[in-house]
Structures are given as structure tokens and as C-alpha cells.
Amino acid sequence: MGRVLLIGAKSDVARALAHEFGAAGYDLILAARKSRELERDRADLMIRYNVGVQVEELDITDLEQLHTWYATLEPKPDTAISVVGLLGVQEEAQADWQSAKRAYETNLTGPALLLETIAADFEQRNEGTICGISSVAGERGRKSNYLYGSAKAGFSEYLSGLRNRLAKSNVHVVTVKPGFIDTKMTEGMPLPAPLTAQPEQVAKDIFKACMKKKNVIYTLWMWRWIMAIIRNIPEPIFKKLDL
Amino acid sequence: MKVANWGNYPVVDAEVRNFRNVDELREILENGSSLIARGLGRCYGDSSLNETIISTSKWKRILDFDRQTGKVKCEAGVSLDDILKVFVPRGWFPAVTPGTKFVTIGGAIASDVHGKSHHVTGSFSNYVDDITIMLSDGRILTCSKELNADLFWSTCGGMGLTGVILEATISLIPIETSYIIQEVVKTKNIGEIMTLFEESEAWTYSMAWIDCLATGESLGRSVMMRGEHAKHEDLLSDRSRKQPLTLHKESSLNVPFNFPSFTLNGLSMKAFNTLYYAKAPAQYKKSIVHYDPFFYPLDAVHNWNRIYGKRGFVQYQFVLPKENSREGLPAILRKISEHGKGSFLAVLKLFGPQETVISFPMEGYALALDFPITKNLFPFLDSLDEMVQYYGGRIYLTKDARMSAETFRNGYPHLGMFEKSRTKFDREQKFESLQSKRLGL
């Protein structure tokens, strides 16, 4: 079995992914900021699944350090999944330049730069799977979350290019576009239940997509069709919508 | 959001808060004034309901396991289902398990649950080594039978009113196989089943399904199931001998929506009970069964509570002191069958001795019945309450949604001790539930 690096390992989706891969017998590298909290997860995953688990401190916005961080990471993973995401509050990010910067660094610059380093390693080894959790919010910018959305749009396009580059190698790239998920990120938001996934469901979909070498998946599945409609609303109408 | 427990009654509009670390929990406690913890919501009534609910659904890690002693330390939201999945293949089993595996460890402690083994093992608290709790002022205390014993004994069975259980260490028991040697014995009436219970005290597990609609000579006719953990040499097939510790399968059956309320009526229940009794083997049958159907037959159908429809149901569970049971149990059964207010599955169990601060079990017979909610149900249950009190019994808080403060006080003689330690530990008086308010706690 392989070894999976989870980038942003404290999120609800990452935790569910750790269970999914752990149950399948993969060793795990859990990387996050303030990683001390993950020691409990480490104990849990080791007891439940008898797999190796290591915890690594990682600040995805510390852009200068990302390359060194991966270069010194031992042992190296053969699957890397970026689950990093910061939704933030649009109004705050609009009003505060630093907050907007943080949204871009967390959702786009940091993950893309780290995956780029990892991709070079995987390409050289000619093996591995890279998976990025983007968002349906990246499919069309709207006023309520366009800073987050545009960063995710950039991340989706980054993954698309990376997949194209690595298509001839043995390295596979998966883009995941979740819709609403019932997580800490969305706690307190009034989400429509039929369109809202549990993190465990999303993790199952991602695991399956990695195993089956899918290119782009939507989770829950209906978001593919919802977004197709939203993308096709003519701009003169779209710009006036309260979204 | 709308929240209800297993009986789908009552339904409340509540704010549900999750926590992922102790700082988040402490913040919820600081900002809240009336809070109650909730796990998987398998209590039946209003025990874990309040305007603000603290859910342990994001707090479910197993922290330590000692493979020599079978002691597991885990967070409160870990379920018995988790424990079984992780530890049955390694040869360990919960010493006390209720009739569903979809309960959390925190909930099992707060309800001090019991199972088919009560007369041998006592209740869940007997296998709890220590509990770590966050009190309303944000302090974290560990308690056990030796350390902070007053907190321990008012937390076991204390329905979450002392604080939020963070972690607990529980002791599992070793098993050679995941199978049970089961005997099914049919009895003609209430007298016979009580005698059979008393003759079956050496069995680790025993319970009986009782037809509470039968009358006259057949009053209380029952089917007893008793069992022991099967040893390796007991297994009959080569396949099970090679894999003696197989795990339960995920159930795929589900009740997808609430049944219309006319589905359940006196006639369909009578038919069900008669069939169930008739289906049982002639007199006696011995077999080897997996633990899953033996302990958790109803878990096989997810959301089975929906058969009671949108209005929901109440589970009524009481225990009578053993010395009053020969007189009291038939009297109560007669009352139930006279009213034709039967129950799909009524379960009878003989408890062993237990005298703890606020837990439900005491030595005697416990009977659990389901009643769909109808217009005249509550007055009828009030009249059952009177009989239970008359015979010196008590009602199980975990199943309750409607008893009066007076019935409650009469049933729990050590309530004073409980209230004293609750005052001592819940200094900010923040923990309460719809049930505790109703019961004047």
C-alpha cells in the first residue's frame, strides 16, 4: 500500500479522507498548521487501522518555505491531496487588503506552489496521484464570495494544466469540485439539505476518484448540472442576480 | 434546526453546536446559558434536547488501547459500533451493551445503559475506569470510583447534567469468537417466564420478548433468548473456525420515510405479536448465532422508528423491585392488554442488584414497551406510572418524554445526593435539558 500526504489535515474533509485511506491500509502524513492538535488523530488512526501515521507542521501561506518543506519531508508520499481552503467573509476581505491576500495565498498560491514541487518529484519518480480539492465556487464569480471563488478558479485551472502536462507520465491529477459540505467552514450557514454533503460522503467520492483515476469530479454529483446551468446564464442577466 | 431523538417525540427547534477541540467547547460553554450534550440521539425522549445542543459528532477519536488489559480510552462521541469494528477482530467485546450499537460512549455513560447481561455484569458504569469532564466553568476534571467519586456517580446515569463528558476509559472483555451460543425457550405465561429467568441466572445473557396483548391464561406469554459467548471449539463450521472473529456487516435495510399513522393499530400489532410467538420454535432451540442479530436485531433496519409515523412514539420502560414483581408485573400487563395498547416488541429482563446514585437499574424485573403517540396515550401512561410507583418501581429517564416530576422523585430515592453534587460541580448552572426542566431538576 502507498502513503498519502494530506495537506490541510485538520479540516473535516481531510479527517474523513484520513479514515477512508487509513481503512484501505495506506500510511498517512497529516500536514497542517498548529499540528499538535493532530496528535489525537494520529493515535486514533493508528489504533483503528494499524497504519503508520506521521504529523507534520505546515503553514501553506509561508510561501518561501514550501519547497524546502517538501524537500526535507521523509519518507515521500505517493499520493498528495490538497484539502486546504479558507472561505473567509467576503465583506471582510473586500475591506481588508491583508484578508484578501490571505484568501489568495491559502486557496491558490500556497497549494499550487506546493503541488508544483510535489509534481516535480512524482514526475521524476514516474508515479503517484495528485488531488486538489477546488470548489464549484470557482466556476463563476459572484459577489458573495468572488475572492474565494476566483482563487479556486485559479486552482482548478492550475490542476487542469498540471494534468495536461503529466498526462503522458504515470502521474495522475484529480480535480475535485465540491458543492456545499456540512463542515466547520459552513457551520451556521443556512444550506439546502438535499445539496449539502457530509464530509464522509465527499471523502468516499474523492477516494473513489483517486482509485479510478478520474479527471474532474463534482461532489455531490448534481453540482455538475447545477453549475452547467449557472455557467450558461447570460452575463447581462447574471450580473443583476443576487447571488 | 429541527431535532428529535429516537422516539420522534418531542421535536424541537434547536441550535446545534459542534466542537473540535476543548477550546471550542469552552467557548460554547462561556457563551451559553442553557446547554445539553448530545451524541447519536438514541435516547427516546427529551433527555438530550434543549434550545442549545452540544453535539459530540466531531469528537470521536480513539486515544489509547492496552492490548494486555483491553482498556480503551476514547472521546465521548465514539460509538459502540466503532468499538465493535475496531476491537472484535482483535478479540475484545464491550462487557455491557444496550440493544443498539448506535450509541456513543458519552451517551452510554450519561444513561448508564444496561444490557442482557445486567444480572452478571451490572450496568455500563461497572466497566468505566475513568471519565474526563468539562464543567460549566470550563474546568476539566477527571473522576473515577476513587477520584472525585461524587462526580463519577452523578455523571453515570446523570443524563449530561453534570458537564460535558470529554473522554472515558472503558474495559472490554476478551472473546474467543464473535459468535453466541443461543438458547430460545418459549413459555406459556408470565409466571413461567419469571421462573425461567430465575433459573437462568447462570447465563451471561438473558432477555425475553413478551406478548403484552395476550390475555387470560396466556397473559405474559414469552420467548426467552439466553446466550453465552461461544468458545472456539463450539463453532461448528470450518469457515467460522477459520475466521472466528468476523465482524458485523453494514445493514442495507432502511425505512425511508415515516409510515402513515394508520399502519399501526390494535389489529396489526395483535397480528404481529401472535405471529412472533407462533414463529418461535416449539419449546426450546439451541443454536450458534453471530453477535449482531443476538444483541442488535433492530439495528438491521435503519430508521425503524419511522414505522411509528410522524407523530412518533414513546418507549415506556420501568423496573419493579424483585419482591413485588410476582404481584406487580401481571397486574400491569393486565392493564396494558385490557386497554389493547400493545407494543410491537415488549422486552422483559431480570436485573441483578444495583444501588447507585441516579442510574435506572435495581434488582427486579424491567419491562420496555413502545407506544405510538395517540390522543389518549398520556393519561393511560399516567395510570401506569401510578401502578409502577405503588409497587416501588421507577421509570428509565433515557426512554422518558412525559413523566411527572412527582413520579420521578418517588422512583429515585438517592436524588438528594445527585442534586448535591450537581450543585457542587455545575456551579454556573448551565446544563439542563427539556427533561430536566420538566422533572424539576
pLDDT bracket for residue A13 (50, 70, 90):
very high
Burial-class residue A234 by CB neighbours within 10 Å (0-12, 13-18, 19+): exposed
Buried b (16+ CB within 10 A) or exposed e, A129-167: bbbbbbbbbbbbbbeebbbbbbbbbbbbebbbebbeebe
B60: nearest CA partner in chain A: A44
List, for residues B76-125, the tens digit of each pLDDT value: 999 999 999 999 999 999 999 999 999 999 999 999 999 999 999 999 99
- By the CB < 8 Å criterion, does A184 face chain B? yes
Q: Kindly give, in sequence order, each residue whose CB lies less than 8 Å from that of residue B182, ignoring residues fewer than 6 positions away.
A: B225, B226, B227, B286, B287, B288, B289, B294
What is the predicted pLDDT for the residue at A106? 95
Q: List Cβ neighbours of B361 (8 Å cut-off, separation of 6 or more).
A: B112, B114, B118, B122, B123, B319, B351, B352, B354
Distance CA B256, CA A146 (A): 38
Surface-to-core class of residue B335, CB atoms within 10 Å of its CB (0-12 exposed, 13-18 middle, 19+ buried): middle
Identify whether the C-beta of residue B291 lies closer than 8 Å to the C-beta of residue B101: no
Residue of A47, A185, A189 to mutate, testing the B interface (most B Cβ within 10 Å of its Cβ) = A47
Cis peptide before A220 (omega within 30 of 0): yes
Cell of A134: 477546488
Give the minimum alpha-carbon distance from B329 to chain A in angstroms, rounded to a whole number: 45
So what's the pLDDT on residue B309?
85
Assign residue B412 a region: left if phi > 0, alpha if psi is -120 to 50, beta otherwise?
beta
| The three cell numbers locating residue B211 | 406478548
Residue from B57, B61, B87, B172 whose CB has the most chain A CBs within 10 Å, to mutate: B61
> pLDDT value at position B259?
76
Model pTM? 0.94
Q: CA-to-CA distance for B106 and B131, rounded, in angstroms?
A: 9
Closest residue, chain A, to B64 (C-alpha): A43
Cα distances (Å, whole numbers) of residue A122 to A29, A161, B268, B329, B419: 16, 16, 65, 72, 63
Report pLDDT for B266. 64
Residues from B in contact with A at Cβ < 8 Å: 18, 20-21, 58, 61-65, 75, 82, 86
SS (H, E, C) B361-415: CCCEEEEEEEEECCCCHHHHHHHHHHHHHHCCCEECCCCCCCCCHHHHHHHCCCH
Q: What is the CA radius of gyration of chain A?
A: 17
A40 contact residues in B (CB cutoff 8 A):
61, 63, 75
Q: What is the pLDDT of residue B173?
A: 98
**Rounded Cα–Cα distance for residues B44 and B6 (Å):** 5
Q: Are B395 and B317 in contact (CB under 8 A)?
A: yes
All three cell numbers of B437, joined, read 426542566
| CA-based nearest residue to A199, from A3, A5, A6 | A6
Task: Enumerate the β-bridge partners of residue B18.
Answer: B55
Residue B239, classified by CB atoms within 10 Å of its CB into exposed (0-12), middle (13-18) or buried (19+), is exposed
Q: By three-state DSSP, how is residue B244 classified?
A: coil
Answer positive or negative: Cα dihedral of B227, B98, B266, B392.
Answer: positive
Q: List phi, psi (to 5°) of A54.
A: -120, 145
Do B62 and A44 lie within an 8 Å CB cutoff?
Answer: yes
Sheet of B364-372: strand order equals B284-290, B179-187, B222-229, B205-210, B346-351, B364-372, B313-321, B394-395
At A62, the pLDDT band (50, 70, 90 cuts) reads very high
Give which of B131, B94, B110, B87 is closest to B36, Cα–Cα: B110
| Interior angle at CA B297, CA B293 and CA B298, nearest 5 | 155
Q: Which residue has the higher pLDDT, A1 or A233?
A: A233
CB A169 within 8 A of CB A108: no
Beta-bridged to residue B12, according to DSSP, are B3
Rounded Cα–Cα distance for residues B157 and B23 (Å)? 26
Q: What is the rounded distance in angstroms from the CA atom of residue A152 to the CA atom of residue A133?
A: 9
Measured between beta carbons, the chain B residues lying within 8 angstroms of A48 are 62, 82, 86
How high is the ipTM of this complex? Answer: 0.92
Chain A residues lying within 8 Å of B75, measured CB to CB: 40
Residue-wise pLDDT for A78-92, tens only, equals: 999 999 988 877 777
Angstrom distance (rounded) from CA B310 to CA B171: 39
Residue A55 grid coordinates: 504529523
d(CA B168, CA A203): 28
3-state SS track over B167-221: EEEEEEEECCCCEEEEEEEEECCHHHHHHHHHHCCCCCEEEEEECCCCCHHHCCC
> How close does chain A come to B114, measured CA to CA in Å?
26
DSSP assignment of B341-362, as one string?
A: ---S-EEEEEE-----SS-S--
Residue B97, all three cell numbers: 451493551
Q: CA–CA separation, B60 vs B120, rounded Å? A: 29
All residues at 6 or more sequence positions from B382 whose CB lies less than 8 Å from its CB, including other chains: B404
CB-based contact A47 B86, cutoff 8 Å: yes
B372: buried, middle or exposed (CB in 10 Å: 19+, 13-18, 0-12)?
buried
Handedness of CA A134, A139, A140, A142 (dihedral sign): negative
Q: Residue B9 carries which side chain, given as an amino acid letter?
A: Y
pLDDT at B262: 65
- Give the pairing type, strands B284-290 and A129-133: unpaired
**Who among B18, B63, B82 is closest to A40 (CB)?**
B63
**What Rg do the C-alpha atoms of chain B give, in angstroms?**
21
Best residue in B13, B62, B84 for a mutation probing chain A (most A CBs within 10 Å): B62
The CATH number of the domain covering residues in A3-238? 3.40.50.720
In tens, the pLDDT along A115-151 reads 999 999 999 999 999 999 999 999 999 988 899 999 9
So what's the pLDDT on residue B147? 97
Low-confidence ranges of chain B (pLDDT < 50): none
Q: What does the DSSP assignment read for B254-276?
A: E--SPPPGGGS-HHHHHHHHHHH
Query: Are residues B61 and A12, on separate chains, in Cβ contact within 8 Å?
Result: no
Q: Indicate the helix (H) or strand (E) that contains B36.
A: strand B35-38
